[in-house]
Amino acid sequence: MPTDLRAGIPAHDLERFRAHLLTLADEARRIIRSACDQGFEVKHKPDGSYVTSTDVQVEERLRALIGKRLPDHGILGEELPAHAPGAEFQWILDPVDGTEDFVQRIPTFGTIVGLHFRGEPVVGVIDMPMLDARVHAAFGLGAFHNRERLRLADLGADVPPAQVRLMLSARANFVRYRDRDGPAFDALTRTYPNHRIYRTCYAHACAATGQADATVDYGNHIWDLAATRLLVEEAGGAYRTLQDFHTPTGRVFSAVFGRPALVAKLASLLGESPEAKAP
């Protein structure tokens, strides 16, 4: 087995990066809560999705904080052009994941931040300001739900599919880039009828906390998944990339994550891409 690149990062750097990550999440939460109270502007992007003044405001603020403290690190965000795309360390940002829900005050939206080292996740956070909930992790240092350390149990072999608590993206996410993935949604919803669909990072956080047994999410950009693999793996869960392909609007990933035995079953049902590499 090849050595994990991340094992070479000094412990004090990991702790420093984690502290910085939590500062970023605090700052995003402060801006978002203030926007919820005071209102914000909503615009439609060319692809029909929403963007708000808050998405841009949060991303600008996080970029400024990263640039001040760690100026040689790259930054890749949903709303603004990449900074230092060749750097070994890359901060990946989704300032408001689930903007449509944010606009509607449906409280499962959140901020996603991950720091990757040569493509491998080092620290990550999903923060949901309206739920007062945060899941964060650092490589080798564990995953936490607010202050509680996460330790996922595996799914018992005797749990019937009808009792599995599965979270999914909507059918829209399955067919956004290619129609042929619609049947994957249909097969999942038939085989695992006890499903919930949130369309936001909340479903990713729940796979790390065990509030979902597993989550299947199709048609994501890298910032949607910037923290997920690390959160789930540090909690004791499994993460598998199902698809990794290029579209005119960028590279797209589909993934399954959560309790290991269930992730293996779902990857088998959905057909794991042999060449796929986790973001």
Point out which residues bind a copy of itself (CB under 8 A): 48, 100, 104-107, 131, 162-163, 165, 168, 170-172, 175, 182, 185-186, 189-190, 193-199, 206, 211
Whose Cβ is closer to a copy of itself: residue 163's or residue 249's? 163
Q: In angstroms, what is the minimal distance from the CB of 229 to a copy of itself?
A: 22
Q: Tell which residue, 181, 268, 262, has the closest CA to residue 219.
A: 181
- Write the Ramachandran bin of 276: left for phi over 0, alpha for psi from -120 to 50, otherwise beta: beta
Q: In angstroms, what is the minimal distance from the CB of 68 to a copy of itself?
A: 35
DSSP assignment of 207-272: HHHTSSSEEEEEEE-GGGGTTHHHHHHHTT-EEEEEEEEEETTEEEEEEEEESHHHHHHHHHHH--
Whose Cβ is closer to a copy of itself: residue 84's or residue 103's? 103
The type of residue at 224 is: D
Q: In angstroms, what is the minimal distance from the CB of 192 to a copy of itself?
A: 9
Whose Cβ is closer to a copy of itself: residue 15's or residue 163's? 163
Q: In angstroms, what is the minimal distance from the CB of 1 to a copy of itself?
A: 35
Q: In angstroms, what is the minimal distance from the CB of 148 to a copy of itself?
A: 11
DSSP bridge partners of 122: none
Enclosing H/E stretch for 21: helix 11-38
User: d(Cα 93, Cα 71) in Å, to the nearest integer?
Assistant: 16
Q: Tell which residue, 154, 184, 191, 159, has the closest CA to residue 169.
A: 184
Q: In angstroms, what is the minimal distance from the CB of 202 to a copy of itself?
A: 9
Count of other CB atoms within 10 angstroms of residue 164: 21
Whose Cβ is closer to a copy of itself: residue 146's or residue 247's? 146
Q: In angstroms, what is the minimal distance from the CB of 234 to a copy of itself?
A: 20
Whose Cβ is closer to a copy of itself: residue 77's or residue 110's? 110
Largest Cα separation within the chain, whole Å, is 53
Whose Cβ is closer to a copy of itself: residue 63's or residue 265's? 265
CA atoms within 13 A on the CB side of 237: 31
Class of residue 47 by CB neighbours under 10 A (exposed 0-12, middle 13-18, buried 19+): exposed
Whose Cβ is closer to a copy of itself: residue 29's or residue 165's? 165
Q: Three-state SS for 178?
A: coil
Structure letter (DSSP) for residue 10: -
